[in-house]
Structures are given as C-alpha cells and as structure tokens.
C-alpha cells in the first residue's frame, strides 16, 4: 500500500487500474461499506482491511487487468477458510478505472480531505520531519511551517510546506478543531507561536516540544506578555507525554501521533455519537 503518494498522483502514475470497493459489509468485518483501494500491476493505494481478504482482492483485480477474470463482484465469507475469523461477510465490487471513475474518485477524495482536521507542524527539524512522515497516511490535513528551506523530497508529497519568515502568523490559518504542534529550533520562536495558539480557544490540541523546565520558563514569559494563566491548561508540554523516556525522533513522532489521533479524531467520533444518540431520542 502506498502511504506517501496522494490518490491523484497514484492515478496519474497508474492509468490502468481497478477500483476495489466494499459494497456491503455484514457482521464483523475489517472495513466498513464504502472503503476502497485502487490496484494496479505496479502497486496499490488504500486498503480494504488487509489480511487474506485483501490478497484475494488484489489477485482478482490484477487478473482483471490481465484479462483473466471477468467477475465484477466477489462475496467473501470471513471465516477460517480464508484465514480470517472476523465472522462477517464482505461483498467486494471491482470496476476498471476510466475517466468517469477517476473523476468520481478525485471528487470524493477532495471532499473527504477538506473535512479532515488541520495539523500544523511548526518546525522541520528531525522531529518535525519524523512526525510529518508518521502523519502522512492519516486523515489529517498536515502543513509544515518553517523559516528555513528543507531538502527536496524531505516531506511526503501529501504534506503542505510553507516557508515563511514569521511562523506565528500562520496560527490563524488553522481551522477550528485543528492542532498546532510546535517543534522549532528556537525557544523564543516556540514561545511566540504557542502564545498565538493558546490565545485561541477553538483548537483541539496545542503542543510544544520541551521539558518541565521549558514549561516553567514559558509560563513566566506568557504572564509577562499578557497571557492568561488559564491558557496553560490547554498546553501539552512535553508533547508525547513523559512515560516513555526516549528522545529518538521516530519514537517522539509515534507518541505525538497517538496524542493527535486521540485528541482530534476521538473528539470527532464523540461528537458524531452524541448527534446520533440525540436523533434516536428525538431531540
């Protein structure tokens, strides 16, 4: 599965491909109806849940491309016979990709992408680049903001890069419900960005890399600069928590990714569940 390439780029690079969609999902299944992947001879994009189910789907799609299979649907029981014990049943639909299908996929992808929460990473040092890579395949709109240029190809192509002289001014571009993760090379710059982010009460997450000492220093600075003590309740510092004592960038990135998934996606799911409950109760 391609994780660094966008769907438009994958479709452009693989004009001969098959769209595999979960048409129906009954009982316990790896993915829900509507999940899809695109399969080409040279690779695939997306996932319908992995395991033997996905291997069957990939084999069938490539057989279609080779003219060796014609079935447009497969009804697959997820039992011991295929090595998956989910217990449900998945109906897969296979469609050769043409111009019409491509346009539909691109519209759908664009609409879904716009609904993803924003994550702004301030700083493209070792931790910032590791975190951007970890976040690339997840349902976030990720933007990396930096005062310095970075090496070509340092970021996955799905990540937006902004080279600006005053990163703190970019905080206002984060849509409500998004996140600011502050990881720059300069403590003073970190503080300026954090102040702008904490002044907003509509961000789901504001985090800054550092230690307990840095938090204390920032707290004193914030009070001198007219900030409010209550703002500090919205600050995650250190990012990633302090349970795992490991300063390797990839480890920090994994820990921060977990925080962002919990804070941003968890909050959205909770709101969605509340709305569903209210509809059931007729509120």
- 228-271 residue pLDDT tens: 999 999 999 999 988 888 899 999 999 999 999 999 998 666 55
> 112, 133, 168: which is the final residue of a domain?
112
| Mean pLDDT lowest among 68-82, 140-154, 179-193 | 68-82
Give the pLDDT confidence of 20-32 residue by residue, as tens digits.
999 999 888 888 9
Helices (H), 187-230: 187-198, 212-224
Q: How many CB atoms sit inside 10 A of residue 211's CB?
A: 11
Q: Is residue 126 located within the same domain as residue 253?
A: yes
Q: Is residue 34 located within the same domain as residue 51?
A: yes
**Is residue 65 included in any domain, yes or no?**
yes
Q: Is residue 95 located within the same domain as residue 134?
A: no
DSSP 265: I
**Is residue 144 included in any domain, yes or no?**
yes
Confirm if 74 and 57 have CB atoms less than 8 A apart. yes
Q: Looking at residues 186-209, what average pLDDT do you find?
A: 96
Q: Is the pLDDT of residue 280 over 50?
A: no
Q: Is residue 87 located within the same domain as residue 127?
A: no
> 86, 112, 138: which is the final residue of a domain?
112
Max CA pair span of the chain: 72
The gap from C-alpha 148 to its chain's centroid, in whole angstroms, comes to 25
Q: Is residue 137 located within the same domain as residue 195?
A: yes
Q: Is residue 80 located within the same domain as residue 207?
A: no
**Is residue 273 included in any domain, yes or no?**
no
Question: Confidence band (pLDDT; 50, 70, 90) for 158?
Answer: confident
Helices (H), the chain: 7-13, 51-65, 99-115, 126-135, 187-198, 212-224, 249-260, 266-281
Q: Is residue 102 located within the same domain as residue 134?
A: no
Q: Is residue 87 located within the same domain as residue 165?
A: no
Q: How many CB atoms sit inside 10 A of residue 188's CB?
A: 9
Give the pLDDT confidence of 42-77 residue by residue, as tens digits.
899 999 988 888 999 999 999 999 999 888 999 988
> 47, 80, 112: which is the final residue of a domain?
112
Confirm if 253 and 127 have CB atoms less than 8 A apart. yes
Question: Confidence band (pLDDT; 50, 70, 90) for 78?
Answer: confident
Q: Is residue 58 located within the same domain as residue 162?
A: no
Q: How many Cα neighbours within 13 Å face the side chain of 90?
A: 31
How many Å from the N-terminal Cα to the C-terminal Cα in the chain?
43
**Is residue 244 included in any domain, yes or no?**
yes
Q: What is the pTM of this model?
A: 0.78
Query: What pLDDT, on a 0 to 100 scale, did the predictor assign at position 242?
Result: 83
Q: Looking at residues 93-112, what average pLDDT do you find?
A: 92
Q: Specify burial of residue 81 (Cβ count, 10 A radius: 0-12, 13-18, 19+).
A: exposed
Q: How many Cα neighbours within 13 Å face the side chain of 160?
A: 14
Q: Is residue 142 located within the same domain as residue 247?
A: yes
Query: What pLDDT, on a 0 to 100 scale, did the predictor assign at position 27?
Result: 86
At 165, which CATH number?
3.40.50.720
**Is residue 274 included in any domain, yes or no?**
no
Range of 76's domain? 7-112
- Which residues on adjacent β-strands are paired with residue 144? 121, 161
Q: Indicate the number of domains in the chain.
A: 2
Q: Is residue 106 located within the same domain as residue 126?
A: no
- In three-state secondary structure terms, 231 is helix
Angle between helices 126-135 and 249-260 (to 10 degrees): 50
Q: Is residue 19 located within the same domain as residue 68?
A: yes
**Is residue 271 included in any domain, yes or no?**
no
**Is residue 227 included in any domain, yes or no?**
yes
Q: Report how far residue 50's alpha carbon sits from residue 54's, in angstroms, rounded to the nearest whole number.
A: 5
Closest C-alpha among 96, 82, 130, 170 to residue 254: 130
Q: What is the mean pLDDT of the chain?
A: 89
Q: Report how far residue 60's alpha carbon sits from residue 2's, in angstroms, rounded to the nearest whole number.
A: 19
Q: Is the pLDDT of residue 3 over 90?
A: no
| Share above pLDDT 70 across residues of the chain, in percent, rounded to a whole number | 89
**Is residue 276 included in any domain, yes or no?**
no
């Amino acid at each position: 599965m391609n994780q660094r390439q966008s769907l438009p780029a994958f479709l452009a690079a693989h004009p001969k491909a098959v769209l595999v969609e979960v048409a129906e999902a009954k009982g316990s299944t790896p993915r829900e109806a509507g999940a899809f992947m695109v399969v080409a001879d040279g690779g695939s994009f997306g996932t319908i849940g992995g395991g033997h189910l996905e291997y069957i789907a990939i084999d069938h799609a490539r057989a279609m491309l080779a003219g060796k299979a014609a079935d447009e649907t497969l009804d697959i029981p997820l039992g011991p016979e295929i090595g998956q014990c989910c217990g449900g049943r998945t109906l897969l639909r296979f469609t050769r990709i043409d111009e019409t299908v491509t346009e539909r996929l691109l519209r759908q992808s664009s609409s879904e992408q716009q609904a993803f929460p924003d994550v702004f990473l301030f700083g493209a040092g070792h931790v910032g680049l590791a975190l951007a890579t970890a976040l690339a395949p997840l349902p976030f709109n990720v933007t990396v903001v930096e005062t310095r240029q970075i090496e070509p190809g340092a970021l996955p192509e799905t990540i937006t890069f902004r080279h600006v002289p005053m990163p703190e001014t970019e905080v206002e571009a984060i849509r409500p419900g998004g996140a600011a993760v502050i990881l720059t090379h300069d403590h003073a710059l970190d503080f300026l960005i954090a102040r702008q982010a904490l002044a907003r009460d509509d961000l789901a997450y504001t985090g800054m890399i550092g230690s307990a000492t840095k938090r204390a220093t920032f707290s004193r600075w914030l009070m001198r600069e007219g900030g409010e003590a209550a703002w500090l309740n919205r600050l995650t510092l250190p990012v990633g928590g302090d349970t795992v004592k490991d300063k390797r960038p990839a480890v920090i990135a994994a820990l921060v990714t977990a925080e962002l998934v919990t804070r941003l996606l968890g909050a959205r799911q909770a709101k969605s569940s509340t709305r569903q409950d209210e509809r059931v109760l007729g509120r």
